Every structure is written in C-alpha cells, then in structure tokens.
A and B are shown apart, each in its own frame.
Chain A
C-alpha cells in the first residue's frame, strides 16, 4: 500500500467494461441497481418468490453467514473451529477433560490455523480441504438452520474485496458440486456494506481477520482498496503476548520479540486469547485534540460528530484492577490487570501510536493512517470525476493533513464516504473478533464498533463526503465527513438479492461444469470482480490504445505470478463464449514498439518486452503474405469468373478489373506497384484457355492460396496472442523504476534518514 506498489486494485479497464456489461450491477450506470419487487401493480410473483428465495452466503476466513435473501439477519453464523473438523462420530469433544488438552490438539499447526477456513497465502494450502470444510459447514447450516432440502437453489456469495482466485474457485466448485446450485451470483462485500448503509459511495474500513481493508466504493463500484495486516489475527496475537506478560507478572510495555513456543505450560490457548480479546479489550479515544481543532477552524464544513469530548472519568486513567481467569495455562491462574492496560493490545494492533509513521512497512500501516492515505490517493483513481487533484496535492502540502482530507475530498467530490462499518468483522476475515472490549461487534447491530471510539482524530476523516446525487428529493450531502452505520455486507447482500439487483457476476452451473472442470478458475469469466487480482495480461490490450490510459498499474508483485500462469493457460484454452472479446489496438503497438517494450521492462515483464518487436516481425511476414497472395487471388478470381461465365463481355470484365485494381490500390500501401498486376496481362490468356486448363490452374491456385491464407491466419492469431500478453500501459502517475522517490512525509521524517 505504499505509493510504490500503487493502487493495487483498480480493475483493469477491460474488466470494468465487463462490469458494465450484462452482469454487473455494480455497474456504473447510475440507475437503480434494483428492480422493484413491489413493482407497480404488486407483482403476482410474490407468492412464488418465497419458494425460491436465493440463499445468501457471506464468506470470510473465520466466519460464514447464511440466510435467505430478504431476511433481516443471517439465519446461521458459523465460526470455524477445530471442533468442526473431527470425524463424524468422534465425540471426544464431550469428554470432561477435553478442554484441558488443547496442547495436543494445537501442536503441529500454525497458531490458530484450525479456526480459519483459509489463509490468504494460498501457497501450500490444500484447496480441496478448504472445499471440504466449507461443504460440511454449508451442509450443516442448510439442513439444521435453514431447514431446506436438497433442492437446488440459487446462491449469492458476498465476497471480500480481494479473494484469491483459487479460493474462489474452490468455493464455487464446492457449491456447484455438492449443492447443485443452478447459478451463483457474486457480490462484493464493501459494496454491499455501502448498500446496507443506504449509500452509494463511501470509504469502507473493514477490520477483518487476516487483514484490514479500506475500500473506496463509489456509485456501487469498488474503486480501490488498501490493506494492512493490522487486523483481528494480529490483535489476538497481541493479546496473547499481553496476557502472557500478565501471567508472568510483568506488565511492561516492552515486549519480548521472539516467537516462543506456544505450547508451554504457561502458554494460553488460542481460544482463550480470542475470548479475552473479545470480552475485555477496549479501545481508547482519540487523544489528539489539537488537530481536531485545527481541522475545525480550517474546515467549517467538517462535522465531527464523534468528536465530542466527553471524558468524565477518562477510562484511560482508571487503574482499578480487572480480574481475568485464565484456564488454559497450567495451572490455571487469575490475573489482575488495570483497566487502562486492557486497551493496550488494541491500541498497539490498530494504531500503534508510539512509533513514528515512517517506520511502518507497507503492509502494516496502522488503520488510521491507512484510511488517511486511502483518502489521499483516492482522487487519483477517480480522476475521471475529479480533475482537480493537483489542487488537492497542493492543499496537501499547504495544510496539515486533516483539512486536506476534508477539502480535497470535497472538492474532488471524491466520494468517499466513510462508513466504517462495523461489519468489519466480516470481511476478509470475518473476524469474529471484536475488537474491542466492548465489542463484539456485530455488524448489523447498533453496536457501534468500538473501534470508532477508538479512532483517533483521524477518524474524522473517515468520515465521508457524499457525492452528488443527482436527483434527490433532498439536497445532497456533500463534503461532510460522516461516520455511517451499516447493517453489514450480509444484510446488503440479502437486500440486493431480494431486490434482484444484478450481481457483479453470475455464474451458471452448466458453464462452470464445462469450463470449470478443465480450466478451473477461469477468472475471466468466473468472476469478473476478482478481476482485480487478475492480470492485466489477460485483457491487456483493450485499453492499451490510449496512451493516457487510465488503467492503474494494477499488478502488485504478488499478482504477477498469477498472471504469468494465467497467460499460459490462455494460450491453449478456449475462451468461454461469454467472455468479452478482447479488442486490441495492435497498430498502436506496432507503431510504438519501444514504448511498449519500455513499459514491459518497467513492470518486470521480461518475456513480454520482446513481444512488440516480435509483433512487428510477424506483421512484416503477414504483409509479405498478403502481397504474395494478392496476385494469385486476382488470377484466381479471373479464372473463377471465366469458368462460371465464359460468355462474359470483355469490357465489363475490364471495368470490374479496373475497379478492383483501384480499390486495391487504395488499400495497399503506396509502395505497391500492382496497379496492373501481372495477372491483368494474363487475363487474356484466361479467355483463350480451355475449360480443363482453367480448372487445372484454378486448382493449383487454390492450393497455394490456402497455404498462404493459413499462414496469414496463423500470423494474425499469433500477433493477437502476443498483444494480449503485453501488459497495459502504466499510468503516468505510477512511480517508475525501483528507486523510491519521497513525495512527502506524513508527520516527521524517519530519524535515520
């Protein structure tokens, strides 16, 4: 999420065009994503609809939410746990000393791995196992909670913004194979969160399990998302350290850095840490008043609701001891921790205020900084809407960042609304964890996410600007930063599905079974949305035509691997019929080979960098073929005409020939000297030849021509393939090269600089 990697997720242009296509709801089209169910006359379909309510499934790495479309809340929320991964008929769970033997169970696996459905790093992960786990949970939920039978039902999946394609593929496979769903629609969870908040745009911060994502949603489209590993998992680990310190009796802020063996006697189990994280931790309020005031002065428009300061007895000062009983260590102990200390893990995990902002790696920015950065970068991406982003950057320099945010955003009308959704849990990780003490945030609930509380002044930013909405009954809200409560992605999904809003992508079972079996994840068709992860290579060239193409440099390094492999598949696999046709401006490539080559090199596409040259070479060959073929074709035409209609009057012929030659001239490059091709001379011969001779010659010509045409076809497909593999032009705003260039510092520069 540094500026180097750049915006990782702006979908390729081609992808966005797909979105605009038949299946996307989330399409830019500003009109109603939904179709009135209660349409004009009260549709008779209501009764029948009940029967085939689609099932809405929200997937996360920790939790699964299931329910029928149109329900206000999921019927079943599954948290993955090792208990679900036992053999059927293994009832050890109920043995009295089961809980105390967690060490044996936990050994040999990454900490807490049993509680996750998947890890985002799919290397070495058994995808079939993921499918199995998922299948068991889904089956359980379907039969025990949804009480449905095995009848096929439509399924709507609400997916986190960046789900690796293999995982998605495994998921789809499971659902299609075991539950025979006729179609699966995919929705994106940030968009659904926005939908459930009743807004069209916003900045959605999703504190997930594996990572926290900040996603800008504009007009029901994901514009861009940023992520950081400061999420639920880190929080639980932080809690572990914290509790361990407490057990040892040294409540210091200094931590032991090394990872220790987590199975020792004094160690705590994952379950217990998570439980305490959910129950006891809390989060401090913003500490930096001064900024806030500045912001207010500078920007009267900014409303800061959250900000009222209301500390009667600041919880931070409260040193009364809280008693926590720990059972999973040997022997069980009770620790007493001052209440104020309990905010520590949360603070460290999400905000880490002690360290200077310049010392974070790209993937571990504190949440508030990330949100801030997201807002700053946003305008770039949405430049179509905002032309003013220069100003923004100027502003950025001039003002302290708080105002910048507000203003920039405002002016650009970038919309980021900020909804921080409490739903945070859900997304990637669906973390059950709640962040704060208070916590458990559920998404839907009124419970305000504690985090917010916590959020530092910057929260302000989170808030949002609404964008123009055009036809409103009420004046649009603009330029405000608001924190909006969302019902959560599941509810959004439920709503959207019930309204029959078209999904981001809809996958048909038949197609999946055909294409999916050999080409498993065919991201191209499977999910358009994950297009983000998908390589530019696939559709690359569609946008390459424009130099100024606005595609962001989408591929971060992690993606590039996928891309390469996908490209390979692409070569021998038939594109699905429903995939959009790639439309590439090869001419542009031919005319600017250096440009493309440079671009490839800059993006570390070594192999592809030779393609422009090869394309030119191929093109030369192709042209040569064309040239060779032309005279033969003419001759062949003449023969054909003669054979078909020997009585043709001569001057008609000539006229035709002349016209043909003329048009050829137009077509051909000036260099062609074929105004009167050799065939023209022999044309008279044609008339003198006997029928047999004609036939014989025509036969010969046909053979030669067919080889030439074969060559031509081969060359042109090869060119197309090469052109497809060339990455898009890099956006001019993307930093080039591997030398980082400091744009500015947030807060003070790094001490070592």
Chain B
C-alpha cells in the first residue's frame, strides 16, 4: 500500500458515443443522467466517476486504427476468432467441435476444484500390470480402476469424491460417464412413447433437460405440425414443414384447416419422469445432517462454487474436477473501416502478432511520471497535504513526425478533495522518433542531452512557466506543480469541496480517494504523409502532400498518494 507507482490511464473516445446513445433515453429521468449530459459538453471529465472505470485503459491495452486515425479500445473493436485452443495441452480445437463439445477441453486437462491448480493423472497404487493383457475383451472393464487425478499443489485427488479411472487417457469422457451415467443420447427417448424404464433417467439436470426437450419436441409434432407453424412467421421456410404450411394456405379450407379449427390441440404437460417432469423432494434432511456432520469445512466456498462447471454443489464431496476452459486467439478489426488492427499468428505455440497497431507505437505518446526533486531518503513516498510538489511528466513520441502537444487540466482535481494542479508548460512540440538509419544524428543528439542533463544537475535549472524542462531526441519533459488537498473531512477546509451547496459529504475516506489523480486533456497535432492506400490514385501522385492529423483524448494521471495526517 505504501508503495505507489504513478500511472497513466487513457480514456477511449468511444465512450462519448455510448453516452450519447444513452442520454437519449428520456424515459429514465435520473439525476445521473443529467450529470452525464454535462459530461458531454466536454469539460468535466472525472476519472473518479464510476462510469469512467469502464472507459479508462492503460496505454498498452489500446490499439490504433491508422485509417480512421482513432484510438480503439477493447470495447470498440470487433473481434474474430482465429484459433481456439486448450491453454493446458495447447491442442487446437475446431470451431465446429466447439458447438458440439462445449467450451471446455475434452482431453485430459483438468483443474483442481479446490485450488484451481492443474491436475495430473496418477496411478493410484501399483499400476495394474495385468491390465494391458486383459483388456482385449471390450465388455470387460478392469474392475479395479486405478488412476486418479491429483493436484500437486493442494494434494487433492479425485478419489476423494470417489472418482477413479480405468485408463489414463480420455479422462474427460470417462468423467462424463461417471458423472452423467451412460451416454445421454440413450435417454433422449423420442416422444412420449411408453415409458419403458422410468428409472432410466438419472437425476442429472442434463438428462432431464434432454428428456424435456424431446418431450416438447414430440408434443409439438403431435399437435399438428402446421398449427405450430402458423404464428411463427419466417421461421423454418427451409424446412419441409413449411411446405405443409404453404400447401394449407393455398388449398384453402382443406381437411387440415378444418381440423385445426374444430379442435385446437393443446400441448399437454409433462407428467412422467421420462418426460423430464419431477416432483421436488422436499426432504433435505440428508443435506442437513451432512452439514451437521462436516461443519463448515465440509462445505465449499463461493469461490470454489463459482469455478465449477455446473451450479449446485454444496459440499466438498460434490466438487468435480474442472476441465480447462478453452481459450481463443482473436484478431481485431476497426468497427468503422473494417481494417484489421491486430492479428495474431494462428499457430497456438506462436505468441507473436502478424499485425498489431498498438496505440503506444503508432500514435499516443507515452507519459512517464517522476518527482522533480525526489525527497532524500524517500521517506514514505507520500505527498504531504498542502505542500506544493513538482513532478516531471515525460512525453515520448512514437511517431516519425514532429508532434505538437497541447495539454489542459482543470485547476483543481474533481472529487471531494480538490488538489490544485498547474501545468507549467501546456504547449510544446516533440521531435520525431528518429529512424534507425539516422544513427549518427542520434548519437549527436544524445550527447547534447547529456550536456543538458548535467546542466540540470547543477540545480540552477528552475522550473519556469511556459518552458519545457528538458528535451531529447523524441521526448520532452515538462513540469507539473500540484498542491495536494488535505484529506481531513473538514467542510471548512479550502480543499474540501461541497457539491452545489448540499450537505457536505462527510463519509469516511473511500478507496483510492487519497490518490492524487489529474484528469488531463491531451491534444496532439502532427503532419504526416497522406495515406495512399486508402485514398487512391489521384492523391498518390503528389507524393509530398502532407496531411494534418490530430488526436485528442482525456487521460487520468495518477501522481501519488496523499498522506493522511
């Protein structure tokens, strides 16, 4: 807690559009909405407002569309699947099998239900030496199942829930079988045809679901098929049922139509076990007695329940190993121009990108923050209330063009505690990011910078309004002076802000309220070569044409934590 790393968050401009979409809701006359409308006017960006949580991103998360010249955050890109794979075995899964097999790894990758560590298959006792010999007979499973899943971290193993496996491969299938009984397809008895074996449906929800589904299916078929269709408009034109329907439309009052009128068929209710109908067993005494027996330790924590694949586990012996969730690699497109702005290598094992227009390499200068005069000994590292402190913001330009930067901040930070902020040099320009070819220049400039730095170290260098502090190849440092607010909950204090004359909010300090965070509006302007690819032949003739670009966004700069004295 004591340590604090300065940070920069950038607000993606896409947030505006969503706000507009929302404020148009006139049916929701809440106060907050009115506030939002104010936000739209562009002045009061409050990084503390709850909504800005969702629109602020660290620079590394942002992409940049170089066709639209716009920042793209994870919320405003459209994504496409490239590869689906299991993070544990790195096996690639086809998107079609995703539909049938679900979103979990169906091989042998499992997570521990207790600690979510990876599980390994281990032989229980001595490996069954006779097993390979005996196993020819298809119908004779080895009676002594002797493989278990174990967690090497917490030493849980699957025998705790009574699960052992016959063979060390295909654990997923074996587990399904153990858990849900036989293959489910057998239970999907079509229709209500006589319940052959009512007990055959196990009490798992999956089986019930399948039973219900087939029940409804059969009901709707029996209840004349065309009746079901009539109200359903465009569905199923491609199915044979549509023919029937069309026939009945054109043939007028044929038999079918008459029949329907006379006797509207009613779908009946499910009422047998086979159809997925089940009376609840209201007797919970076994659960209660188990609770009594096992106490708190016998129940599972909510975190454990959350990672289970199915809901409903209550006791530790109801925890099942969790098959690994599949993961995807996805490429991202700009939603406006459909340009690909990020595309990974499709191979699972390759972590590189084919295309990646990250915002920090393509448009937005990185901002790094450090105190101008680090306090000797760096005691607590906290800012002291009401004492001016100066910070160096260093902007580093990733572009190959000179960039003109304009900064704006509110004079005081928003929120209950208003710290004062002064940017000493709100307008400056940063030199281009040098090409690698210009090595010599770099070296020369570096030497210059060195000299500058020496000068700075002499201490004569004073922060001066309107002047940048330091300049390098493609970077510029400026000074920001802050006067941290006092965190005392004292309405009479200067820095304590009361909203609109209402009751001062004297509730205790909230999380992160002690962080001095500066909302800063950054506007970049630069000239670059006109992008030929997009505009076409006419313009590409004049190769030297320069195009003026600009980009503006809000960012939130976390400077430091104010000490509470």
Interface residues of A (CB under 8 A from B): 22, 29-41, 43-45, 48, 50, 53, 70, 72-73, 75, 77, 79, 85-89, 97, 101, 104-105, 107-108, 122-129, 131-133, 135-136, 139, 143-150, 165-166, 169-170, 173, 177-178, 196-200, 263, 274-275, 278-280, 282-283, 285, 305-306, 308, 310-311, 315, 318, 320, 322-325, 339, 419-420, 422, 432, 436-450, 452-455, 459, 466, 469-474, 476-477, 482-485, 487, 491, 494-495, 498-500, 502, 517-523, 565-566, 569
Contacts and interface: CB of A to CB of B under 8 A. Distances in A.
Contacts, number: 407
B124 interface: no
Contacts of A523: 27
Given A73-B206, A485-B280, A41 B240 contact: yes
A127 B51 contact: no
B328 A310 contact: no
B280 A437 contact: no
A483 B233 CA distance: 37
B239 A104 contact: no
- The residue in A97, A420, A474, A520 that gathers the most chain B C-beta atoms within 10 A of its C-beta is A520
A107 B508 contact: yes
B227 interface: yes
A197 B78 CA distance: 38
Interface string B308-326: 0111111000000000011
Nearest to B332: A150
A126 to B, nearest CB: 4
Interface in B217-241: 217, 219-221, 223, 225, 227-229, 231-233, 235-236, 238-241
A123 B32 CA distance: 10
Interface stretch (B291-299, B394-402, B404-412, B525-533): B291-299
A129 B32 contact: yes
A40 B209 contact: no
Contacts of B328: 143, 147
Nearest to B204: A446
Contacts of B53: 85-87, 132
A436 B288 CA distance: 9
27 contacts: A29-B264, A32-B220, A36-B241, A41-B240, A43-B241, A86-B53, A87-B57, A124-B30, A126-B36, A127-B32, A128-B23, A133-B54, A147-B84, A149-B81, A169-B25, A169-B27, A170-B28, A173-B21, A196-B212, A198-B215, A198-B271, A274-B302, A419-B280, A437-B299, A444-B209, A453-B283, A473-B192
B18 interface: yes
Interface in B245-293: 263-272, 275-285, 287-292
Contacts of A310: 283, 285
Given A30-B264, A149-B81, A199-B277, A127 B228 contact: no
B380 interface: no
* 6 residue pairs, one from A and one from B, having the closest CB atoms: A198-B270, A445-B312, A442-B312, A442-B311, A520-B25, A43-B239
Name A's interface SS.
loop
Given A150-B80, A445-B312, A452-B280, A43 B228 contact: no
Interface in B5-21: 9, 18-19, 21
B545 interface: no
Contact of B283 (A283, A306, A445, A469): A306
Contacts of A104: 509-511
Contacts of B299: 278-280, 437
B288 A437 contact: yes
A97 B184 CA distance: 46
B433 interface: no
A208 B300 CA distance: 21
Nearest to B219: A32
Contacts of A165: 27
A445 B510 CA distance: 40
Contacts of B204: 446
B200 interface: no
A128 B220 contact: no
Interface in B175-217: 192, 203-206, 208-210, 212-213, 215-217
Contact of A45 (B21, B215, B239): B239
A423 to B, nearest CB: 10
Given A169-B28, A325-B296, A107 B216 contact: no
Contacts of B238: 43-45, 48
B1 interface: yes
- The residue in A22, A88, A124, A473 that gathers the most chain B C-beta atoms within 10 A of its C-beta is A88
Contacts of B61: 88-89
B483 interface: no
A132 B54 contact: yes
B265 A518 contact: no
B232 A500 contact: yes
Contacts of A443: 311-312
Contacts of A200: 267, 269
Given A40-B225, A143-B328, A484-B279, A35 B235 contact: yes
Contact of B79 (A127, A150, A569): A150
B301 interface: yes
B279 A279 contact: no
Contacts of A446: 203-205, 312
Given A85-B50, A125-B30, 11 more contacts: A41-B240, A72-B209, A73-B310, A147-B103, A169-B25, A278-B299, A323-B296, A442-B312, A452-B282, A471-B266, A485-B281
